[in-house]
Amino acid sequence: MFELANVARPGVSEYISGSGALSALDNRLEGFKTPLIVTGEKSYAAFTKFYKGNREFRVAKYDGSASFEDMQRIADEYGEGVDVVLGVGGGRVIDTAKGVAQNLNVEYMTVPTVIATCAPYAPVAAVYHPDHTFREVAYFKRTAYACVADLDLLLESPKEYFVAGIGDTLAKWYEAVVLVERNNKFNDPFVRMGLEAAKITRDVLLRDANGALEAMEKGEVTESFKNAVDTVFAISGCVGCFGVHYGRMAGAHAVHNGMSLVKETHSVLHGTKVSYGILVQLLAEGKREEVEKLVPFYKANDLAYNLACVNVTEDVEEKMQKIAEFAASEKETFKLAFDVCTPEVVVAAMKELEELTK
């Protein structure tokens, strides 16, 4: 009952967001002697461009998988004497850093270099097999010592990651509300706190996403940009931290996980696939009107509103079936949103979406 997956937890100890926020990093590293950066090639280049501090770092490059195997490899090869791990990058890098820190039993900090998921804030990770197929969600003992979100750095990050972040974050509301409704948890104060955070994520993004993406194109840090960044990282992270499993995954993420079995979707970002999953879940719930309201927003912001958006254009029915069978399986979370969840229910929703968005 009291496993980490079932316990309400705070997010990061400190969330630092603003232009030039990396100037605060050296101060947060005081007292730590041997910091290890876990990162990727592009992420590290972005970090070194904007970090102007005086600390020296041991640097480990992850293998792109966010697998338990790579977490252990980095801990074994780079971990001797390390007392804090810095995850510098996107979701898979940061999730890898969390696992390295757990293996070394040390603190970790996060420095996001893309605006893609709540990974910099939440003490959980999407873990994959070495071949990049989905394995499980892992829960870590520690929350982040600090998250440093430098808006100047993030302003230069790839726009497609921000678009994916918007999609992943929108799912917080659509998945959380169905879980809370089905389990009648509105009176639980922690669950209610997580659900209110989910509602804020939806409201802020529907209001500010367009302006935030325009700010990125213009290279300007604006109020809309900061609002959207903080929502993708921190407010969305609060949903699962306080709502626990009532604020986590339902149909949208189950569809994403099913897509890991379809090779051509592997190059599509996590949140983009999740955005597609939102629409499938809503149609399976019978909420076509909500989908019709969302589709124009999706089209305006490059979110995935049909299978062609996630590169599935050949043998479509066969791949629908493969995705649906995984999403509706007993080990997945689509079933949490429905009394009866079968592959046929999911396939029917996918087909309805194809027709609706022709």
278 is in an annotated binding site: no
Beta-sheet strand order (sheet of 107-112)? 15-18, 146-150, 107-112, 84-89, 35-39, 58-61
What are the residues whose beta carbons fall under 8 Å from the beta carbon of 196, sequence distance 6 or more? none
| Six-digit token string for 334 | 């689509």
pLDDT tens digits for range 61-88? 999 999 999 999 999 999 999 999 999 9
Cα–Cα distance, 142 to 101 (Å, whole number) = 9
Percentage of the chain surpassing pLDDT 70? 100
| Six-digit token string for 354 | 């194809």
188 is in an annotated binding site: no
192 is in an annotated binding site: no
For the domain with range 4-155, which CATH number is right: 3.40.50.1970, 3.30.450.70, 3.40.50.80, 3.40.1190.20? Answer: 3.40.50.1970
203 is in an annotated binding site: no
N-term to C-term CA, the chain? 46
Q: For helices 236-243 and 159-183, what crossing angle results, to 10°?
A: 30
Q: For helices 270-284 and 251-259, what crossing angle results, to 10°?
A: 130
288 is in an annotated binding site: no
Residue 182, pLDDT above cutoff 70: yes
168 is in an annotated binding site: yes
pTM assigned to the model: 0.91
Residue 1 confidence (pLDDT): 61
266 is in an annotated binding site: no
pLDDT tens digits for range 213-229? 999 999 999 999 999 99
For the domain with range 249-357, which CATH number is right: 3.40.309.10, 1.10.10.10, 1.20.1090.10, 3.40.50.1820? Answer: 1.20.1090.10
Please give the average per-residue pLDDT across 310-338, as a whole number.
Answer: 94
Cα–Cα distance, 174 to 250 (Å, whole number) = 9
Please give the average per-residue pLDDT across 98-108, as a whole number.
Answer: 98
270 is in an annotated binding site: yes
Nearest to 96 by CA among 42, 57, 40: 40
253 is in an annotated binding site: yes
